[in-house]
C-alpha cells in the first residue's frame, strides 16, 4: 500500500470492484469464446448512483445505446452484465433487441426492473450475439461457483494478457470510503476512449450530477490520455457505481473532502489506464510522456498525446533507438503553437534536445535505459505553468501478428 495524498490519506490497494461495501461480482464460460470465461456480472446490494462516459466513435454499439437509455431513467444501476467475444456492434435493430433481451433476462434473474441493469459487450464487430448461449449463461451465472471477482475480471478480456484491477481507500466525514476498479483493454486504444471497458465501484454517498462531473474531469486526465494504436472502438465505456453504503455526508463540489474523493477516483482511473497501456497488443514497454511548462493544460495534453500516438516514436522505443528527432517532430505537428528554441526534451534522465539543437549524450547509456520496461519522456515547452501526462506502449512485430488474425 502506498499513500498518494499530502492532505488526508488516500491509500492504494491491490483490490478491485468488490472492495467497496455492498458489491459482488462473478463470471463464467457460456460458449461465446473458445474455452475462456466470457460472461460476467457486478451486483450492488442496493441501487447505486450511476455515471458513465462513452466512446466518441459515431458507430456506437447496441449495448451502449441500451445502457445510456436505462441510466437516464433515474440515474441508478443495481447490476451490470457484460459479455466478451462478441461486440454486438454494427448489428442494426436486431443488435438493440438482443442487448435489451440480455438486460431483461438478467433483471429477471435478480427480480429487479430492467432499467436497473447495464449491459455491455466487447469482441468481434458485426456479428449477432449467440442469444441461446447467452440465455443459458444468464440462467446459471448467479450460481455460487461463478461468484468470484477473479472470474469477472477474466470474463471481460479479449486480447488482454492480464487482468487489470486496483482500489483506494480514504476517510471522509469519519467514514471509510473505498473505490475499486477493473478494466479490459489491449488494442484499438486511443485518446477519447478506446476499445476498453472500465468498471469502477464505490460505497461513497454522491449524487449523479456530482459523480458525472468528477468522472468526466478524471477521464480527461487518465483514460483519454492513453494510446496503443490510434484506433477508437465502438464499444468503449467507463461506468461508475456509487451505492452510498459508506454513509458519509453527500459529496458535492462544496464538501471539504471533495478533492480527496476526486483524487481517489483519479488514482484508480490512472492506474487502470496505465495497466491498459502497458498491456497493449504485443507491447514490451510502457511509455510515459510528461509535458511541462505549457501555456494551458489542453496544450500540454495535446503535445503529450501527439508524442505517445506517433508510430515512429513507438517503434524507436521498441528498437531502443534514442531517436529524439521523432519526438521533436511529433511536438511540431501537434497543432500547438510552440517556440522551437525554447523546448527541452529528455529521455529518462538524459537531456537530448535543448534550445532548438541536439545535446551531446552517450548513445550506449540511453540505449541501455531504453531496455527498461517503463520509459519516461520529458518535454519542457517553457511557455507557462501547466502540465499533463500521457501513456502508451511500444509498437512491435507481435502487434501485426495479433491483429492480422484477430477474427481467427
- What residues are labeled active site? 195
H helix intervals, 193-281 = 208-221, 258-278
Interatomic CA distance for residues 268 and 166, integer angstroms? 6
Burial of 279 (0-12, 13-18, 19+ CB in 10 A): buried
Please tell me the distance from the alpha carbon of residue 406 to that of residue 233, in angstroms, as a whole number.
15
DSSP 23: E
Alpha carbon distances (Å) from 212 to 112, 179, 208, 375? 24, 15, 6, 33
- Residue 49: phi and psi, rounded to 5, are -60, 135
Gap between the Cα atoms of 277 and 16, Å rounded: 18
Candidates 231, 228, 223; CA nearest to 197 is 223
Q: What number of helices (H) and strands (E) belong to the chain?
A: 11, 16
| Angstrom distances, CA of residue 152 to CA of 40, 148, 163, 180 | 5, 7, 10, 14
* E strand map for 304-373: 344-347, 350-354, 357-358
CA 264 to chain centre: 15
Q: Can you tell me the distance from the alpha carbon of 221 to that of 24, in angstroms, rounded to the nearest whole number?
A: 28
Nearest to 358 by CA among 334, 323, 385, 390: 323
* HSE-up of residue 365 (Cα within 13 Å, Cβ side): 9
State the CB neighbour count (10 A cutoff) for residue 144: 7
Amino acid at each position: 500500500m502506498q499513500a498518494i495524498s499530502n492532505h488526508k490519506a488516500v491509500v492504494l490497494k491491490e483490490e478491485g470492484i468488490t472492495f467497496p461495501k455492498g458489491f459482488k461480482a462473478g463470471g463464467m464460460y457460456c460458449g461465446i469464446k473458445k474455452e475462456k470465461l466470457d460472461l460476467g456480472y457486478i451486483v450492488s446490494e442496493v441501487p447505486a448512483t450511476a455515471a458513465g462516459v462513452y466512446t466518441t466513435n459515431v458507430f456506437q454499439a447496441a449495448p451502449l445505446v441500451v445502457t445510456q437509455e436505462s441510466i437516464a431513467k433515474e440515474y441508478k444501476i443495481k447490476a451490470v452484465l457484460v459479455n466478451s467475444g462478441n461486440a454486438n456492434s454494427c448489428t442494426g435493430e436486431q443488435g438493440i433487441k438482443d442487448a435489451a433481451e440480455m438486460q431483461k433476462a438478467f433483471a429477471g434473474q435478480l427480480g429487479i426492473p430492467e432499467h436497473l441493469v447495464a449491459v455491455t459487450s466487447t469482441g468481434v464487430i458485426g456479428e449477432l450475439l449467440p442469444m441461446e448461449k447467452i440465455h443459458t449463461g444468464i440462467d446459471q451465472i448467479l450460481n455460487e461457483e461463478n461468484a468470484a471477482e477473479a472470474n469477472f475480471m477474466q470474463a471481460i478480456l479479449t486480447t488482454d494478457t492480464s487482468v487489470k484491477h486496483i482500489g483506494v481507500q480514504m476517510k471522509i466525514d469519519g467514514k471509510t470510503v473505498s473505490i475499486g476498479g477493473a478494466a479490459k483493454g489491449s488494442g484499438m486504444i486511443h485518446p477519447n476512449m478506446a476499445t476498453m471497458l472500465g468498471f469502477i465501484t464505490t460505497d461513497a454517498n454522491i449524487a449523479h450530477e456530482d459523480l458525472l462531473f468528477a468522472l468526466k474531469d478524471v477521464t480527461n486526465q487518465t483514460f483519454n490520455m492513453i494510446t496503443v494504436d490510434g484506433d477508437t472502438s465502438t464499444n468503449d465505456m467507463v461506468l461508475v457505481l456509487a451505492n452510498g453504503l459508506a454513509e458519509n455526508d453527500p459529496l458535492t463540489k462544496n464538501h471539504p473532502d471533495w478533492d480527496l474523493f476526486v483524487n481517489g477516483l483519479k488514482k484508480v482511473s490512472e492506474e487502470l489506464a496505465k495497466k491498459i497501456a502497458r498491456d497493449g497488443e504485443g507491447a514490451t514497454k510502457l511509455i510515459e510522456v510528461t509535458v511541462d511548462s505549457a501555456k494551458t493544460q489542453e496544450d500540454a495534453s495535446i503535445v503529450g498525446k501527439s508524442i505517445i500516438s506517433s508510430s515512429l516514436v513507438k517503434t524507436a522505443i521498441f528498437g531502443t533507438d534514442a531517436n529524439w528527432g521523432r519526438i521533436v517532430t511529433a511536438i511540431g505537428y501537434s497543432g500547438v503553437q510552440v517556440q522551437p528554441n525554447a523546448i527541452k526534451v529528455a529521455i529518462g534522465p538524459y537531456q537530448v534536445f535543448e534550445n532548438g539543437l541536439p545535446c551531446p549524450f552517450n548513445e550506449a547509456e540511453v540505449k541501455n535505459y531504453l531496455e527498461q520496461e517503463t520509459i519516461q519522456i520529458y518535454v519542457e515547452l517553457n511557455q507557462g505553468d501547466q502540465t499533463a501526462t500521457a501513456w502508451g506502449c511500444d509498437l512491435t512485430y507481435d502487434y501485426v501478428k495479433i491483429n492480422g488474425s484477430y477474427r481467427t
